[in-house]
Structure 1
Amino acid sequence: MKRIWLILLGCIALSSCDKIESKGMYLASVPIFETMESIRAKANPVSSPTTIVQTGKIYIYQDYLFINEPRKGVHIFNNVDPSKPVAMAFLSIPGNVDLAVLDGKLYADSFTDLLTFDLENPASPKLLTRNKDVFKMLLQMDYLNNTADRIITGYRDSLVSYSQKDKYSPYDRKEPLYNETNSGSGQGGSMARFTIANKHLYAVDQTMLHLFDVQNASKPAYVKDIKIGPGIETIFPFKNNLFIGSNTGMVIYDITTASAPVELSRYTHIRACDPVVVNEKYAFVTLRAGVVCGGQQNLLEVIDIQDLTKPMLKHSFTLENPYGLALSDHTLYICDGKFGLKSFDASDVSQIGNKLLETHKDLMSMDVIAGPKSLIIVGEKGVHQYDYSNKAKLKELSIIPVIRPN
C-alpha cells in the first residue's frame, strides 16, 4: 500500500523519522539493507513459541504443522489433535518464504541460501547444512531492490525529499504471494514453490526450476537449474510428474528420472496468478486477476490431462478472488480470497459451477491443505482447521490466530 503524503514542517522534528534536508518532505518506506554474510553470522535460529503476526505458506508432516511467517521464519506446532494445536517452537530464518520436509529433515530458503534442519526434536531443530547462493532469482522475486551484495531485510518509515519519493516508493517492493507426495515427505499447499518427489527437492523461482538430490536427506546436493520461462509461481507434484503454474499457463514435466525432468507440454491461458492441483484425469487451476497478477478475469479452469502431452481446456467457471485450492476425493475446496472458502462437488467436472456445497463467507482464505486429520486453511486472521468428514458441512476445530501489534 502506497504511503507517501505531505508532512508539515513541524514533523521533521519527530525522532522516529530519519531526516533528509529538503524543502519538500514526504514519508516513505525506505529499505533496510544487510549483507548475506552478516545475516549468516548472526543466525540463532530456535526460540520459544511466539505469536504469529503474518501468515505465509503452510505445510504438514506427520503430526506437525509448519506455518511460515513471511521473511521471518517458521512456527512449529504439535498437531496430534487438530482441535488443540500446541505451539512448540519458532525457527527464525531471515528471508524465509518456502519449506518442505523429508525423512525428518526440514528444507527452507533463507534469501539466497537453502538451509537443512534436523527435526529429531521438533521443539529444537538443529541446523545441519547451508547451501549458499542457490536462489538468486527467488531473492529477486520477493525483494526487487536486492543485489548480490545487499539484501533488503525490512523497511522503516523515513522522511525523504520530493526528488527521492519515487526511488523509495513502496511500489518498488513486492510482497510474497500467499505455493499425493512420496513416502517420507510432507504435504504443502497449492501456493508452494518447494516440493519433494522421488527423493529430490524441486524449487521454482520466476524463471527457473532448481533441483537438489536429497537421497541423503541431511546433505542436499545441488543437481542443476532448468530454465522454464517467465512468470513461474507454483509447483505441484502428482505421481511422476510436476505441474508448474505460471501467470500465463501451466508446464508439465515428467520426473520418472528424478534428476532429469523432461518437459511434456505447455498449456496457455490468459495472464493471471495460477495455482494448480490435479488428479488422474484433470488439472484444476484458479486464475486471479489484479495489479500484480495481470488480467481481468477470475476463473476456475478444468483441464483434461489424460494425455499429458496435450492438455486441453474442458470447462471454466467464474469466481471472485481465487487463491489456493485443494482436492479431496470428489470435493474441491477453493480459497476465494475475501469472498471466503468455497466447497464444490467436482464429481462431474462439467457441473462444478452449479454444485456449490458450502461457503464460509467470513473466512478470508489464501491457501488450503486437505490433510489426513483436518482441512487446514491459511487466511488473514490465522490458520483454521476444520473437520471435513462431512464434505457438505465443515465443522471448525481450531484457529491459530494472527496477533498484530497495536
Structure 2
Amino acid sequence: MNLIKSFLFIGLAMSVLLGCDKVESNTYFKTRLPVFEKMSVIRTQMTSVVEPQAIEQTGKIYIFKDYLFINEPMKGIHIFNNVNPSNPSAVAFLNIPGNVDMAVKDNVLYADSYVDLLAFDLSNPTKPTLLNRIEEVFKNVYQYDYENQTLNSVVVRYVDTVVSREYFRTYNPYINYYKETVNYSNSDGGGSYGQGGSMARFTLANEHLYAVDHSSMNLFDVSDKTKPSFKKNIKLGWGIETIFPYKDNLFIGTNSGMYIYNIEDASAPKELSRYEHVRACDPVVVNDDYAFVTLRTGAVCAGIVNVLEVVDIKDLKAPKLVKTFQMQNPHGLGLSGDVLYICEGKYGFKSFEASDVNNIGYSPIEHLSQLNSTDVIPGPKSLIIIGEKGVCQYDYSNKKSLKLLSCISVKPIQD
C-alpha cells in the first residue's frame, strides 16, 4: 500500500511540474502605434514656403554661398541668410514632410520627402520653387514591419496607445515567460556646390547626386538642372549610414566599416575596397593620406566602443589602421587643414592637431565641454556646429582658441 501511495505521489508531482494547461491570457501594455498616410495625400501638402519658424529639433546642416540650411527632421528646412555669421537671419521655412537630407548645386536644392526626391530652384532663397519630383526612389529608407506598409503609404507619426493582447499560451509555473517590450526612437567637379556635414546621406559630385539609404546607393544625373533623372540603385549591404566625397572618390560610412568607391566615371561608381571595424556608428572625413573615422556606442548604434580611428588610405585599394584613440561618445567630425574637429555629443566639442596621426587623439587643442554637438562644417566664414540645443558658429582663424560668433537656439517642444 505504501508503495502504491509513493507512486501516486510521484505521479501527482510530475503532473504539476510537467503537465500543461491551456490558459487564456489578456495582457495590457503601453506602446506607440504608427499612423499611416498615403503619399498621394502628402504630396498635396508639401513644398509650401512660409515665414521663418522657431526650430524645435535639429537635424542635418548644409551651407551654400551665403546661406545656411538647417533641417528639422521630418518637417522641412529652415533657411538663414548667413552673410554675417555673427548675426544670421532667418528668411524662410521650406515645408517638406518627411525631409531628412539635402544638397545644393548651381542654385538647385535637392531634398528627400519620404520616398521621393525633390528639386527646388534657389535663385531666390527666400522663395524656393519646386522644379521637379521623382517619386518612390528611396524604397529602402521607409520600410517598416507593419501589415499596412507599402511604398504608397508611410508612417508620419506615432501615437501613445494602451493595447490588449488576447492569446492562448501553454502555462507552466516553472518556466519564465518572455516579457514583450517595444522601444521607439523619438525620430527616426565643376559647377557651384554647397557643403554638408559628416553625417550627410546626400552628396554631389561630377554632375551626379549620390544618396545612400540603409542598404544601397541611389544615383541621379543632375546635369539638367530642371530635370534630375534617376539612373540606378547600387546594392551595398545593410548598415549604410553616411557618405563623404573627396576628389574622385566616395567614402561611405557603415556600422561595420568604411567602403571606398571611385567615381572617375560618375555614372558607374567602382568599389575599390572595404575597411572593416567593430559594429558602431561610423561617420568619416578624409584628406589625401588618411581617413578619420569615429565609432560610438548608443541605442541606435549598438556599438561597444567610443574611439577615433586613423586609417591610412594612400593605397585606396588597401586601407589599413594606423592608430586608435579613446573618445567619450564621438559623433560627427570635420577637417580643416591640420586641425581635426570632433563632436562628442553631450560631452562637448574638441579640436585636435591632425598633422601627427600617431598622437592626434591624446591631447585636444581645445575642449568646449558645455557645447552639445553632433556635427560640424568647417565653412569659409565660420565653423558651424550643430547639436541638440541649436546651431552655433565660431571664428576659427586661431586654431588654438575658438571665438563664439552666434547661436541659433532650439525652441523646446511644448507637450
Q: Normalising by the residue count of structure 2, what TM-score does the alignment of the two structures yield?
A: 0.87
1:173 to partner: Cα distance: 5.5
- Structure-2 residue corresponding to 1:171: 183
Amino acid at match of 1:351: N
Structure 2 residue 252 is the aligned partner of structure 1 residue 240: no
In the alignment, structure 1 residue 397 sits paired with structure 2 residue 400 = no
Q: Does 1:366 align with 2:369?
A: no
1:340 aligns with 2:348: yes
The verdict on how the C-alpha distance between 1:257 and 1:83 changes in structure 2, with shifts beyond 3 A counting, is same
Contact 1:144–1:173 (CA under 8 A) maintained in structure 2: no
Report the CA distance between 1:169 and its aligned residue: 6.6
Alignment of 1:218-237 (within 5 A): 218-237=226-245
Moved more, 242-251 or 30-39: 30-39
Question: 2: CA distance between counterparts of 1:103 and 1:311?
Answer: 34
What secondary structure does 1:234 align onto?
A: strand
* SS in structure 1 at match of 2:365: strand
Range with bigger deviation, 317-326 or 282-291: 282-291
Matches within 5 A, 1:100-119: 100-119=103-122
Query: Any idea what the Cα deviations from partners look like across 1:141-175, whole Å, max 9, x if unmatched?
Result: xx6654323211112233322569x9x97625673
Structure with bigger gyration radius: 2
CA contact (8 A) 2:212 2:242 kept: yes
Q: Does 1:205 align with 2:177?
A: no
Displacement, 1:107?
Answer: 0.3
1:294 shift after superposition: 2.0
Distance in 1 between residues matched to 2:58 and 2:184, nearest whole Å: 22
Q: CA deviation at 1:116?
A: 0.4
2:33 is matched with 30
Correspondence for 1:15: none
Instruction: Decide whether the 8 Å contact of 2:203 with 2:209 is kept in 1.
Output: yes
Structure 2 match to 1:8: none
Query: Is residue 149 from structure 1 mapped to residue 152 from structure 2 by the alignment?
Result: yes
Q: 2:138 aligns with which of 108, 131, 135?
A: 135
Amino acid of the residue matched to residue 122 of structure 1?
Answer: P
CA distance 1:169–1:122, shift in 2 (3 Å): farther
CA 144–332 in structure 1, closer or farther in 2 if over 3 Å, else same: farther
C-alpha separation in 2, matches of 1:252 and 1:130: 29
Give the conservation status (yes or no) of the 8 Å contact 1:189–1:367: yes
For residues 70 and 43 of structure 1, what CA distance do their matches in structure 2 show?
A: 14
Instruction: Give how far 1:295 is off.
Output: 2.6
Q: Find the counterpart in structure 2 of residue 357 from structure 1.
A: 365
* Equivalent residue runs for 1:39-118 within 5 Å: 39-118=42-121
Specify which of 324, 327, 333 is matched with residue 332 of structure 2.
Answer: 324
> 1:38 & 1:169 partners in 2: Cα distance?
33
Task: Name the CA shift for 1:148/1:173 in 2 (closer, same or farther; >3 Å).
Answer: farther
Closer/same/farther in 2, CA of residues 270 and 23 from structure 1, 3 Å limit: closer
Distance in 2 (alpha carbons) for counterparts of 1:173 and 1:332: 30
1:209–1:225 CA contact under 8 A, matched in 2: yes
Match of 2:264 among 236, 256, 268: 256
CA distance in 1, matches of 2:190, 2:304: 37
Contact 2:40 2:152 (8 Å CA) reproduced: no
Q: Structure 1 length as normaliser, TM-score?
A: 0.89
Deviations 1:340-369 (A, max 9, x none): 000101110111122310111111110000
Check the 8 A contact 2:136/2:151 in 1, yes or no: no
* 2:26–2:166 contact (8 Å) kept in structure 1: no
Deviations 1:268-313 (A, max 9, x none): 0111100000000000000012332123111100000001010010
List runs of 5+ in structure 2 lacking aligned partners. Answer: 1-24, 168-177
Amino acid at match of 2:183: Y
Change (3 A) 1:127 1:144: farther
- Matched to 2:297, the amino acid is A
Residues matched between the structures, number: 378
Measure the CA separation in 1 of the matches of 2:405 and 2:235: 43
Decide whether the 8 Å contact of 1:144 with 1:172 is kept in 2: no
Residue 195, structure 1, aligned to residue 203, structure 2: yes
Give distance in 2, aligned partners of 1:328 and 1:44.
Answer: 35
Question: 1:49 and 1:301 mapped to 2: Cα distance?
Answer: 40
Which secondary structure state, in structure 1, belongs to the residue aligned with residue 91 of structure 2? strand
Give 2:310's aligned residue: 302
Quote the Cα distance in structure 2 between the aligned partners of 1:55 and 1:370: 18
State the one-letter code of the partner of 1:196. L
The one-letter code sitting in structure 2 at the alignment partner of 1:154 is R
Q: Percent identity?
A: 58
Partner of 1:159: 162
Partner deviation per Cα, 1:70-126 (whole Å, 9 max, x = no partner): 000000000000010000100010100000000000000000000000011111100
In 2, the alpha carbon distance for the partners of 1:390 and 1:312 equals: 32
| 1:288–1:322 Cα contact (<8 Å) kept | yes
Q: Deviation per CA, 1:215-258: give whole Å up to 9, x if none.
A: 11221111111111111100000000000010000010110010
